[in-house]
Amino acid sequence: MKKFNLITSIISLVLSLCLVINLAFAWFSNNKSASSNSTVSVIDKEEIVSEVLYYTVSSNEDNTITLKENLGSGSSNYEMAKYSILNDNIDTIIMAVKLNSNTSLDLSLKTSLTADDYTKLIGYDSEDETTGIKSTNNSLSSVLKFSVLSVESLGTNTITYTSMDYSSFIDTTNNSVSNKEYSNISSYNNYVFIAFDYDKDLIEYLYNKNLGNDNLSNSDGYLTYICDFYVEIKGGE
């Protein structure tokens, strides 16, 4: 009987511990600091990201990106220029994530787009039956490519990188959509840079799948895309 009570106690303890761990994890994941009025103890959790700014690009040659503005003077949001298949211009933008400390981290780009929807232009499919108004906010994930830069050096308005390998959320060959994860990314002078650009192949794929779509057949028109992904940063050290 005593042996039974002991086992019961151990199980209760384990369950209690699990509960405590989860509560602690959840609390600290969503709060930057904890304090108590009744005690002197205050714990502060340091924020990883100090600032996020966007820069347009003047040139990208010899592994060096020249920004149109100096680092630190970018915009807090960005509307990418209108992509034209006819002109095939590169419209790279740089998202500069300034960290509070120079560190290494894990970075993920996660999209809400699914394999069932990535070929759809919802501007065509989501016409409001009552109003007749068409939404033109399509998935930016469906036409975008991105690269987390491996930075070699920084200038006032230049970023020299060792590699710039673009990825996208969509694999048209396997008809799949997946998040992209980058491990142990080292910041440079507290910065992590992510380059975004239109993916020509994805746009053409999307267009091909939507030949005959009313939005596409209007040569004077254009399609807009809203951001349907986020960047998750997990701080290390």
Partner 1 sequence: MKKIIMSFLGVISILTFSLGFIYAWVINSENINPNITGKTESAYFESGDGTEDSPYIISNKTHIYNFAWLQYLGMFNHESSTTGYYETIYFKLKNDIDCDGLTIPAIGTTANPFVGVFDGGGFVISNINVTNRYSQLTLKPGSVEKLDNASIIGFFGVIGKYDNESGYNIVSTSDGKLITSVSNFYLENIRVNVTSGQILAGIIAGYVNANISNIGVEYSSFDFATQASALKSKISNYALIGDYNSDDGVDWSDKPGTSIGFGGSIDITSLSKRVTYIAANAGKGTDSTNTSYTYDSAIYNSHFYTTRSSTNPGYDWTVSGETQTIAFEEGTYLPLNIDLTTANVSNNNTNTNAYYDGKNAEPILNSNVGYIVGNSSTGNTSVRLTHKKADKSSSGIVNSIYTQQAGNDTTDMDEMFASKNYSLFYINSSGTSYRITDNDNLNLSYTKHNDNKIDSSNFSNYSYVKSQFIDSLKDSVTEEYFSSNGKIVLNGILLRKGNASSISFKDFSNVKINNITYDTYKMAEGGINYSLSQNGNLSLICGTFASSSSNHTFYDFYEIDRTTDSSSPSAKKIYKIYKNSSSGDVKYTYDSSSTVTDSGYELKFDLASLNSSAQLYANCAYYMEIPFKSGDYFITNIGVSASNSPYLLYLDVGANASTTGETDATISKIDFVYKVNNSIVKVNDDGYTASNVLYSIEGTTTLEVVIYYRRIQNDGVLYYYESIDGLTMTTIGSGSTSKASSNACESKES
- Token pair of 69, please? 């503005």
Report if residue 84 touches partner 1, rule: CB under 8 A: yes
Report if residue 1 touches partner 1, rule: CB under 8 A: no
Three-point CA angle 205, 210, 213, nearest 5°: 155
Instruction: Give, as ranges, the residues between 193 and 222 that touch partner 1 (CB under 8 A).
Output: 196, 198, 203-204, 207-213, 215-219, 221-222
Instruction: Give, as ranges, the residues between 155 and 194 that touch partner 1 (CB under 8 A).
Output: none
Options 65, 71, 80, 195; binder of partner 1; rule CB under 8 A: 80
**Cα 81 to Cα 56: distance, rounded to the nearest angstrom:** 10
Token pair 């009987």 is found at: 1
Three-point CA angle 111, 203, 232, nearest 5°: 20
Mark the segment that binds partner 1 (CB under 8 A) among 19-27, 56-64, 161-169, 176-184: 19-27
**Cα 75 to Cα 214: distance, rounded to the nearest angstrom:** 34
124 to 153: interface string for partner 1, x by CB under 8 A = ----------------x--xx---------
Options 63, 134, 178, 235; binder of partner 1; rule CB under 8 A: 235
Q: How many residues bind partner 1 (CB under 8 A)?
A: 71
Nearer to partner 1, 153 or 230 (CB): 230
